Amino acid sequence: MKIAFICTGNSARSQMAEGFAKSFARALGMELLVYSAGSEPAQEVNPLAVMVMREKGVDISTHKPKGLEAIPYKEMDLIITLCDHASQTCPEVPGVRKEHWNLQDPASFVGSEAEKIEFFRRVRDDIEERVWDLLQSLQLKQGTSTRP
């Protein structure tokens, strides 16, 4: 199965979703190819995204933001947009299932450093739960699983 996570900058939300999906798929023994991209890719993955993912044991420090052209859309089984802007700019591909998770952008949060980190953690935890639920629903055909 091939899944793509799309947001605007591909610097936080979609990178975290990609990281969790790859990590969970490995732990569950699932054959899953995971992609992420942004409609307006940033220069780098947000350092706070890297930090809060590391807290969960998932290393996204080598990830790089990519544009929509990096996604082989016609080969995807599922495309998940993570913000309204991405939902509007992501191409519709006949025969490819599309879901929309409208998540707040932690990279645009304004506050103290501690408040920013806490906001990143809340968004990360939301993504973690959503990705876990998604992979669990895909695993149902293969029996039950326990969370790694």
pLDDT tens for each residue of 82-105? 987 777 777 677 788 999 999 999
Span between the terminal Cα atoms of the chain, in Å: 20
Domains (ranges, CATH) in the chain? 2-142 (3.40.50.2300)
pLDDT of 144 higher than 80: no
The structure tokens listed for 42 are 């940033």
Is 97 considered catalytic here?
no
Least confident of 56-70, 76-90, 98-112, 113-127: 76-90
Q: What is the pLDDT of residue 140?
A: 62
C-alpha count within 13 angstroms, C-beta hemisphere, residue 95: 4
Q: Give the phi and the psi of residue 116 in degrees, each rounded to 5.
A: -65, -45
Identify the active-site residue in 83, 107, 134, 135.
83
- Per residue in 47-57, pLDDT tens? 999 999 999 99
Q: How far apart are CA 107 and CA 49, in angstroms?
A: 9
Is 134 considered catalytic here?
no
Q: How far apart are CA 4 and CA 34, in angstroms?
A: 6
Is 59 considered catalytic here?
no
